[in-house]
Amino acid sequence: MISSTTYALIVIATFAVMEFNAWFLHKYVMHGFLWNLHYDHHNPDPTRSYQYNDFFALVFAVPSFLFILFDSIYDLPVLGAIGFGIMAYGAAYFFVHEIIIHRRWKFMTPKSNWYTRGLNSAHKIHHSKGHKEGCENFGMLIVPLKYFNKRASLSKTN
């Protein structure tokens, strides 16, 4: 048995590691050998409500589900904590990527602030090319400072 503090720390650590895992998979898998599934995210078909890219949600959901399931069956709380950390990152990713950035789900209008402006700036630069080569900024929640500075300098001149 692990303490609730240790459990929470494992969830938080897993959440943090997932940002780097997502960066790696986005750069080397989605913009690599699985570009055929990610292509329609950079070049969306306006006649479809889904993208083949949405399949990647299952890539992360399956291990999360299995870790939580194995915890409940075999009493392995470390696995459960990892599963919930993956799930929490997936929820954050969905909220940030689908709602704030792409506005694919229109049930709310997110407020603009320094973070969302930097986030949107970085993501627009990532999507500025419709092909897999030459893209930058593959992360999601951690936005390099240059995107905040670029946005800030643009708003000062306008």
Whether this prediction's pTM lies above 0.75 is answered by yes
Q: For the chain, what percent of residues have pLDDT higher than 90?
A: 65
Q: Per-residue pLDDT tens for 108-130? A: 777 788 888 899 999 999 998 88
- CA-to-CA dists, residue 29 to 22, 70, 133, angstroms: 10, 27, 12
Taking the C-alpha atoms of residue 35 and residue 52, their distance in angstroms, rounded to an integer, is 10
66 token code pair: 């299995």
pLDDT of residue 137: 87
Q: Per-residue pLDDT tens for 63-89? A: 999 999 999 999 999 999 999 999 999
Contacts of residue 143, Cβ cutoff 8 Å, sequence gap at least 6: 115, 118, 119, 122, 137
pLDDT of residue 150: 54
Taking the C-alpha atoms of residue 14 and residue 145, their distance in angstroms, rounded to an integer, is 24
User: For residues 101 and 119, is the Cβ–Cβ distance under 8 A?
Assistant: yes
pLDDT of residue 106: 73
Tell whether the model's pLDDT for residue 22 goes beyond 80.
Answer: yes
- CA-to-CA dists, residue 121 to 116, 154, 155, angstroms: 8, 11, 12
pLDDT of residue 1: 84
pLDDT band at 148 (very low <50, low <70, confident <90, very high): confident
pLDDT of residue 53: 93
- Break the chain into its structural domains and give their ranges: 4-157
143 backbone dihedrals φ, ψ, rounded to 5°: -105, 125
Token look-up 């506005």 returns 103
In a 3-state reduction of DSSP, which class is residue 45? coil
